[in-house]
């Protein structure tokens, strides 16, 4: 039985025609993927190298898992920020558990996200379609950050920019509050908007907590990185992107999400139970095992710029993850 997967990304060019939606292609039971979704051979998921470490190697090829229990106790807090510092330097990514976000909220966020994609008819989903003439607009789409048409002001992009990901998504502009407009989000299921607002607020708190711990791991005051990031802006910018990866007839030719690093400071990701996400480290691609109670933390480009001497922003990609990424 084919599984549908995905996840939800919180981070600090889209076609709107129904025919362009990947879910519609999957529901049509096509035997072959359209050519615009086929990756070059060098980029296809079965060509990536997976690392195999020796049993006695300290780095076992798994994303570090860090328990945030005990942040109010000096000794435990020190141990936690030391672990986070090590994970940032070696991976640029780590899982956190006991993170303070209600696990029931994570389940509700996954549930309303899946319901939007799987329960609403396509015409109703298209009411929330992204503006194809606006760069990175919020809403329902299939191609995020689409390159502008070639012109005297915008030279043609390289050929990889024209290859499409095998996914649909819904992007929400959630912070600062001046960008948050729940009326542009789905009204069905009935709790959708309420859940996204609560999830946004909780993820902001977690992001502030993590930035503080990263600062402490460098011997800096807790607020240092947050102040550097918000200086001149006054508040966090936050988007919440739900990614939906339908079943694919030729998954060996496509990617759910092509390799990239994220803009912003941090990416906080909750996955469903379907694997597929990978992180690039030491010239190898490492699979990220979904952990239902954990949140995946990825350093993003803005943090890399601030801390270039210490950390790096990881590159990651998703082969066809049959699911939802939140």
Residue with tokens 């990866």: 245
What's the pTM? 0.84
Residue with tokens 């496509």: 254
Residue with tokens 């529901």: 27
**Residue of 285 and 57 predicted with greater confidence:** 285
User: Which one-letter DSSP state was computed for residue 261?
Assistant: -
**What's the pLDDT at 1?**
30
Backbone dihedral angles phi then psi of residue 66, each to the nearest 5 degrees: -120, 125
Going from N- to C-terminal start, the domains of the chain cover 63-145+161-324
pLDDT in tens, 239-288: 999 999 999 999 999 999 888 888 888 999 999 988 889 998 888 889 99
Residue with tokens 């939906």: 244
Give every CB contact of residue 250 below 8 A, 6+ residues apart in sequence: 32, 33
CATH for the stretch 63-145+161-324: 2.60.120.330
pLDDT in tens, 179-229: 999 999 999 999 999 999 999 999 999 999 999 999 999 999 999 888 888
């Amino acid at each position: 039985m084919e599984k549908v997967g995905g996840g939800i990304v919180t981070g600090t060019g889209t076609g709107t025609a129904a025919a362009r939606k990947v879910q519609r292609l999957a529901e049509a039971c096509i035997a072959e993927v359209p050519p615009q979704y086929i990756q070059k051979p060098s980029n296809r998921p079965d060509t990536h190298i997976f690392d195999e470490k020796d049993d006695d190697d300290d780095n076992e090829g798994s994303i570090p898992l860090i328990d945030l229990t005990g942040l109010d106790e000096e000794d435990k807090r020190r141990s936690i920020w030391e672990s986070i510092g090590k994970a940032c330097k070696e991976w640029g990514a780590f899982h956190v558990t006991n993170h303070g976000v209600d696990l029931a909220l994570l389940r509700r966020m996954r549930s309303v996200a899946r319901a939007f994609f799987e329960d609403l008819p396509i015409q109703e989903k298209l009411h929330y379609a992204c503006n194809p003439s606006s760069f990175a607009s919020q809403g329902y789409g299939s191609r995020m950050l689409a390159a502008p048409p070639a012109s005297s002001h915008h030279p043609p992009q390289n050929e990889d920019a024209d290859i499409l990901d095998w996914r649909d998504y819904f992007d929400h502009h959630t912070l600062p509050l001046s960008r948050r407009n729940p009326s542009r989000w789905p009204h069905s299921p009935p709790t959708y908007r309420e859940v996204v607002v609560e999830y946004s607020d909780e993820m902001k708190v977690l992001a502030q907590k993590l930035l503080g711990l990263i600062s402490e791991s460098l011997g800096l005051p807790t607020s240092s990185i947050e102040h550097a990031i918000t200086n001149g802006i006054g508040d966090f910018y936050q988007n919440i992107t739900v990614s939906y990866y339908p079943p694919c007839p030729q998954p060996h030719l496509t990617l759910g999400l092509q390799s990239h690093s994220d803009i912003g400071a941090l990416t906080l990701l909750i996955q469903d139970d379907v694997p597929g996400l990978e992180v690039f480290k030491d010239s190898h691609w490492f699979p990220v095992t979904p952990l239902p109670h954990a949140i995946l933390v990825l350093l993003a480009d803005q943090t890399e710029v601030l801390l270039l001497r210490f950390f790096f922003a990881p590159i990651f990609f998703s082969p066809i993850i049959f699911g939802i990424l939140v």
